[in-house]
Amino acid sequence: MSQTSLLLERLGALIQQSVRDDATRHGLQPIHIQVLHYLVRANRYSDLPIAIAEYFGITRGTVSQTLAVLERRGLLTKEPDARHGKRVHLKLTRAGESVLSESWVERVEQALCERDVEATALESTLRNLLAAMQRVNGQRAFGLCRQCAHFLTEENGARCGLTNEPLATEQTVRICREWAAVTEECV
């Protein structure tokens, strides 16, 4: 095993431990914290139960149970989609957002900041590694909207080339289940 694999294994284990600690502090399970973190970053095509199942590789039954707990605890709400009959969008409540304050994510960001890490280079390396692993495992990439092959910049803002719908600025910095990598043919 290379040093890189060992380091990633240790980091993964430490992050899992931190998620467990965050969950315990709020009387929740780790998957509850992970789903809240996911939803706060997901765009409007991805704040759906099916997208959660895909992102975490878990069953729809497990997603339903998880959402039921979060809803009962007042940490998220379900908002009907105005255009798609049965579809519901999952939104964090204020209480849900406050669960995420002082979480493991902030501790990682602080550690990166204190060590003056070249964030862009590290992010690029990790993204490439993740994409390679996702291809091997046949998983969707869930990339950032602004970096998608379907992302179109227009005079008055942005548009999704896949759905042909306009994109609010705050949606363009979120992750999406429909994301596609920019290939040389797209450039």
| Residue 142 found at the interface with ligand SF4 (CB under 6 A) | no
**In whole angstroms, what is the distance from residue 162 CA to residue 105 CA?**
31
Residue that is written with structure tokens 């996911």 in the block: 38
Query: Rule CB under 6 A: is residue 104 a binding residue for ligand SF4?
Result: no
Helix (H, G, I), strand (E, B) or coil at 115: coil
For ligand SF4, the binding residue among 151, 157, 164, 185 (CB under 6 A) is 151
Part of the chain binding ligand SF4 (CB under 6 A), chosen from 20-28, 30-38, 56-64, 175-183: 175-183
Q: In what order do the strands lie in the sheet with 151-154?
A: 151-154, 157-160, 166-167
- Given a contact cutoff of 8 angstroms between Cβ atoms, the answer to whether 172 and 145 are in contact is yes
Give yes or no for residue 47 binding ligand SF4 (CB under 6 A).
Answer: no
Residue 46 or residue 66: which is nearer to ligand SF4 going by CB?
46
Q: State yes or no: residue 127 binds ligand SF4 (CB under 6 A).
A: no
Q: Is there binding between residue 150 and ligand SF4 (CB under 6 A)?
A: yes
- Of the pair 92, 145, the CB lying nearest ligand SF4 is at 145
Terminal CA-CA length for the chain: 37
Stretch of residues binding ligand SF4 (CB under 6 A), selected from 30-38, 52-60, 70-78, 142-150: 142-150
Is residue 160 within the footprint of ligand SF4 (CB under 6 A)? Answer: yes
Tokens found for residue 67: 């959402």
Which pair of structure tokens corresponds to residue 169? 């600025």
Regarding 145 and contact with ligand SF4 (CB under 6 A), the answer is yes
CA proximity to 20, closest of 9, 10, 33, 30: 30
Q: Does 176 engage in binding with ligand SF4 (CB under 6 A)?
A: yes
Between 11 and 186, CB nearer to ligand SF4: 186
Question: Contact, 149 vs 186, CB < 8 A?
Answer: yes
Taking Cα atoms as reference points, which of 61, 65, 38 lies closest to residue 51?
A: 38
| Residues at the contact surface with ligand SF4, assessed by CB under 6 A | 43, 45, 145, 148, 150-151, 160, 162, 176, 178-179
